[in-house]
Amino acid sequence: MVLKTEKSRIDAVDALRGFAVMAILLVHSLEHFIFPVYPASSPAWLAALDEGVFAVVFALFAGKAYAIFALLFGFTFHLQYASRQSRGEDFGVRFLWRLLLLAGFATLNAAFFPAGDVLLLFSLVGVVLFAVRRLNDRTVLALALLFLVQPVEWYHCFRALADPGFAPPDLGVGAMYGEVAAYTKAGDFWQFVAGNVTLGQKASLLWAVNAGRYSQTAGLFLLGLLLGRRGLFSDSADNARFWVRTLIVGAVAFVPLQALHGLFGEATAARMAATVLDMWQKLAFTAVLAASFVLLYRTARFRRVTDGLRFYGRMSLTNYIAQSVVGALIFFPFGLGLASRCGYALSLVIGVAVFVLQAAFCRWWLRGHQRQGPLESLWHRLTWLGAK
């Protein structure tokens, strides 16, 4: 049912990770990789199609694909930690070095992605996994729930209720992204790269503060760690019941949260509450997506249909960074400059085409050459640099 291709690899996890990276690609394609330039006008039928495509893709994937990616980051940490622990070793310090390497990959990706890169956030927040690696499951779960409650946003909310003149610090993110948009439109490649790895990364990290992403990412990492400790991706009747319950709870929670989060005004307290509810409704739908995928993957037909995602997920780092490079070359002025000619529908077609080509490459690479993708192999080798 949940098939293993090699020791320590779980097909369902690889396929779910591939699904998340594919979804990120589709969202970024519609956003022109954070280059919001679109056709000045379109026929009425195409405008309606574009609107529908945007609504469906963002409703399904925006904020949810990243959450699955974060969840599986914590799960992977468990696999690595447990593997070394079985040999009487502590993976903790080596993991910190691995996070530092991840910051390097984040810089590489950010060079082509003007909004800054989530991998840098992962490299910073990943320290929480190091900190909790020896704590028991109950403590880890309690910490995960604390992070997912979004305590900072609730503090700001209640502070604003008590003091109507209170406002969270203005981090200047909007002005930073204005500068990013300006040099991106200018079309100077080297200015683009230099700006992205400095100003773009800074803006991304500060945007994550406003969006509550630090706390949510930490919570998702810890939930992924617990999924690994409890072996909940392995095939058993108990695990199937767990994912069914997860699906039901996520679906039931999503409906009221979706209805509530858009009802708030512009006052500070209202905006803080709306931010939390928006994150909670996305988290609930993430549970629906992840649980549905895992349950469907237990069927032979679904495994056959999604077989390409298994290879795609095994090369997630390579694919994620390659997406940014290809997207920049397609949409940005220093490349083909197609952003101004592509509405949402055509951008989705381009995203799907990039995915199909990447998936074909992954299948060829893994079957004919390596057990890992090029960047995965490099990350692995650098992680164990100097190890006996």
Q: What is the pLDDT of residues 190-233, one digit of tens each?
A: 999 999 999 999 999 999 998 899 999 999 999 999 999 999 99
Lowest-confidence pick of 46-55, 253-262, 356-365, 373-382: 253-262
Q: How many helices (H) and strands (E) does the chain have?
A: 19, 0
First to last CA, the chain: 37
The whole-number pLDDT of residue 1 equals 34
**Helix extents (H) in 2-91:** 11-30, 44-61, 64-85
Average pLDDT over residues 230-258: 93
The whole-number pLDDT of residue 369 equals 67
Residue 127 above 90 pLDDT? yes
- Pair of tokens at residue 88: 């009487």
What are the pLDDT digits (tens) for 314-348? 999 999 999 999 999 999 999 999 999 999 999 99
Residue 143 above 80 pLDDT? yes
What 8-state DSSP symbol labels residue 266? S
Q: If we measure between CA atoms, which residue out of 6, 7, 3, 33 comes closest to residue 334?
A: 33
Average pLDDT over residues 164-171: 87
| Size (the chain), residues | 388
The whole-number pLDDT of residue 7 equals 41
Average pLDDT over residues 124-146: 97
Residue 57 above 60 pLDDT? yes
Residue 124 above 70 pLDDT? yes
Q: Which residue has the higher pLDDT, 116 or 373?
A: 373
DSSP-assigned states of every residue in 133-202: TTS-HHHHHHHHHHHHT-HHHHHHHHHHHH-TT-------HHHHHHHHHHHHHHT-HHHHHHHIIIIIHH
**pTM of the predicted protein model:** 0.93
Residue showing tokens 């400059």: 337
Residue showing tokens 């994150």: 279
Residue showing tokens 């800054």: 116
- Pair of tokens at residue 288: 């629906």
